[in-house]
Amino acid sequence: MKKVTPLLLVISVIIILVACDATKKMTAAVEVKRPNIVIIMTDDHAKNAMSLYNNALIQTPNMDRIGKEGITFKNAFVTNSICGPSRSVILTGKYSHINGFRDNGDRFDGSQWTFPKELQKHGYYTAMVGKWHLSTAPTGFDYWNILIDQGQYYNPDFVEMGDTARREGYSTNLITDIAMQTLDQRPKDKPFMMLLYHKAPHRNWMPDTTHLHLYNDKDLPIPFTFYDNYDNRKAAAAQDMEIKDMFLSSDMKLYLPEGAKDTGSGGSGPNSRYNPQRDWESLYGRMNPAQKKAWDDYYKPISDAFYRNNPQGKELEEWMYQRYIKDYLRCIAAVDDNVGRFLDYLERTGELDNTLIIYTSDQGFYLGEHGWYDKRFMYEESFSTPMVMRYPKKIKAGIINNNLVLNLDLASTILDIAGVPVPADVQGESLVPLFNKKNSKDWRKSIYYHYYEYPHGWHSVKRHLGVRTDRYKLIHFYHDINEWELYDLHKDPHEMNNIYNDPVNKEIITNLKQQLKDLVEKYKDTESVSLIK
């Protein structure tokens, strides 16, 4: 047996200590390299206004880049197509009836579990910047800086950790600026999770002065369903969100003659005390002299021409559509520019490829389809939402997935990527198994939707719930109405022909109602069981 000298013993101890120290440093390095997570979310961004989904209206190269270098979900949907409820579903991974935020009249219970709280507990630096819109202060964030309620496009007020201040500039640019400044100042020994939530392109669609002249050289195509008469669809006929009824002042940006009253109803519904002119004067009044000059130089000639030409009937409706759609798209153009700025920032700071980047919207939106703007209905344009993700460590470039996915799934997906266990009561599914697949046979075959905001909300859209499969959609409108609608999405993708009352579909309806009942039970929406008969 070889004798160990004191010198060899000392050397061995030193080697062991050095190795242990190196191991600790390597472990720490691995810990720091946990993936960052960013959700960039817009408000009311329709899939048809993102060129990765449809290039007929706008080019969005920076948003598209996320999908082209990662995954595009072709069939992403929301559980409740309205702002606050959708945001609550994303935070909690639970349906509206579970998280308690059914409509925009509710207040978010910040004491409940959310995925930012879980990430924070597991060592993530968490931040929320931009549009919160949940009535209570954010919880689960190391830093937050949010707009008040809907916020303003120009020179908006922000609440930073409880302190309110007005910032000079355009909201989309400012939100991106704050997001980058926040990450610059974050603790560098932690991975970060950021919610970067834009106000745009929410009503009343005020573009940045740098984008006012986009689309001046052309008119945009009018949707196939623009002159829908809502035949055999009573709930669709009862709504109050047609473009022809928008406000001439705040929506159309017209300078009303002195003493004139706005002729639009604008979807105000029971909010009849809403004063569009007063609202518009407040928004316009926030602008500084340079912003007002750019605004007046562009919109005043349009307003003068309108009153000079005095369009009526069909000419007026189509004029209003062009005014609406161009301003809406100009707001998205600013978002796309800022998505590019933020991607460049991540690349410049060396964090791009170590960050799961999600781009989505809180719901879809009507771009003149059925003659509408806004959202709420379970019809495809507002039920669906853009959803793209980039994370090269897990997602190959250029994947297009066709499975039925939901905003409900984001919380589980984020925790899965972060290596954090998903609580058993979270109702969404992790999308990670779909990351490199076009279609998974093991995935859900149907999805559940429930909208509640009637009669106290805007736009008079009846309460309804429903089920969607790959081919069919069954909807039940209830409360002060009892109407069922059935659509074959393969034969009728525009949902113009309600085939519920056709006897040939009896077996299909029976099957879909059973699927709807199964989903109601799965998601513990017990109060809705009686609505399915």
Q: What are the pLDDT digits (tens) for 251-269?
A: 999 999 998 889 888 888 7
- Which residues have CB under 8 Å from 81's CB, separation 6+? 363, 364, 375, 376, 377, 378, 382, 383, 449, 451
Quick one: pLDDT band at residue 21, thresholds 50, 70, 90?
A: low
Q: Are residues 267 and 282 in the same domain?
A: yes
Q: Are residues 269 and 122 in the same domain?
A: no
Q: Are residues 161 and 144 in the same domain?
A: yes
- The CA distance from 123 to 31, in Å, is 10
- The CA distance from 507 to 500, in Å, is 11
User: What's the pLDDT at 274?
Assistant: 84
288 in a structural domain: yes
Q: Are residues 333 and 195 in the same domain?
A: yes
User: What's the pLDDT at 177?
Assistant: 98
Q: What are the pLDDT digits (tens) for 39-87?
A: 999 999 999 999 999 999 999 999 999 999 999 999 999 999 999 999 9
227 in a structural domain: no
Domain end position, chosen among 383, 416, 432 = 432
Q: Are residues 59 and 169 in the same domain?
A: yes
Domain end position, chosen among 267, 294, 324 = 324
* Of 193, 246, 486, 511, the residue nearest 373 (C-alpha): 246
231 in a structural domain: no
The model's pTM: 0.93
511 in a structural domain: no
User: What's the pLDDT at 312?
Assistant: 96
Quick one: pLDDT band at residue 460, thresholds 50, 70, 90?
A: very high
- The CA distance from 46 to 426, in Å, is 27
User: What's the pLDDT at 273?
Assistant: 74
State mean pLDDT over 175-198. Answer: 98
User: What's the pLDDT at 5?
Assistant: 57
User: What's the pLDDT at 131?
Assistant: 98
Q: Are residues 194 and 100 in the same domain?
A: yes
User: What's the pLDDT at 6?
Assistant: 54
Domain end position, chosen among 383, 401, 432 = 432
- The CA distance from 415 to 314, in Å, is 51
User: What's the pLDDT at 458?
Assistant: 93
Q: Are residues 85 and 173 in the same domain?
A: yes
Q: What are the pLDDT digits (tens) for 215-244?
A: 999 999 999 999 999 999 999 999 999 999
- CA dist 258 → 69, 261, 286, 293, 304 (Å): 53, 9, 21, 20, 13
User: What's the pLDDT at 31?
Assistant: 47
User: What's the pLDDT at 85?
Assistant: 98
Whether residue 388 is predicted with pLDDT greater than 80 in this model: the reply is yes
110 in a structural domain: yes
Whether residue 13 is predicted with pLDDT greater than 90 in this model: the reply is no
Q: What are the pLDDT digits (tens) for 207-219?
A: 999 999 999 999 9
Whether residue 485 is predicted with pLDDT greater than 60 in this model: the reply is yes
481 in a structural domain: no
Q: Are residues 355 and 252 in the same domain?
A: no
The CATH number linked to 90 is 3.40.720.10
Q: What are the pLDDT digits (tens) for 120-175?
A: 999 999 999 999 999 999 999 999 999 999 999 999 999 999 999 999 999 999 99
Q: Are residues 275 and 246 in the same domain?
A: yes
Q: Are residues 157 and 275 in the same domain?
A: no
Q: Are residues 53 and 200 in the same domain?
A: yes
Instruction: Assign 3-class secondary structure to 205-257.
Output: CCCCHHHCCCCCCCCCCCCCCCCCCCCCCHHHHHCCCEHHHCCCCCCCCCCCC
Quick one: pLDDT band at residue 19, thresholds 50, 70, 90?
A: low
Q: Residue 18: which domain range?
A: 1-32
- The CA distance from 167 to 124, in Å, is 28
What is the DSSP track for 64-96? HHHHHTSEEETTEE-SS-SHHHHHHHHHHSS-H
Q: Are residues 46 and 145 in the same domain?
A: yes
The average confidence (pLDDT) of the chain is 94
Q: Are 254 and 281 in contact (CB under 8 A)?
A: no
DSSP single-letter state for residue 58: -
User: What's the pLDDT at 30?
Assistant: 43
DSSP single-letter state for residue 199: -
User: What is the number of structural domains in the chain?
Assistant: 3
Q: What are the pLDDT digits (tens) for 307-351?
A: 999 999 999 999 999 999 999 999 999 999 999 999 999 999 999
Q: Are 6 and 165 in contact (CB under 8 A)?
A: no
Compute the 3-state secondary structure of the chain and give helix, strand, coil in percent, each to the nearest 5.
40, 15, 45
Q: What are the pLDDT digits (tens) for 494-516?
A: 999 999 999 999 999 999 999 99
User: What's the pLDDT at 33?
Assistant: 84
485 in a structural domain: no
397 in a structural domain: yes
User: What's the pLDDT at 516?
Assistant: 98
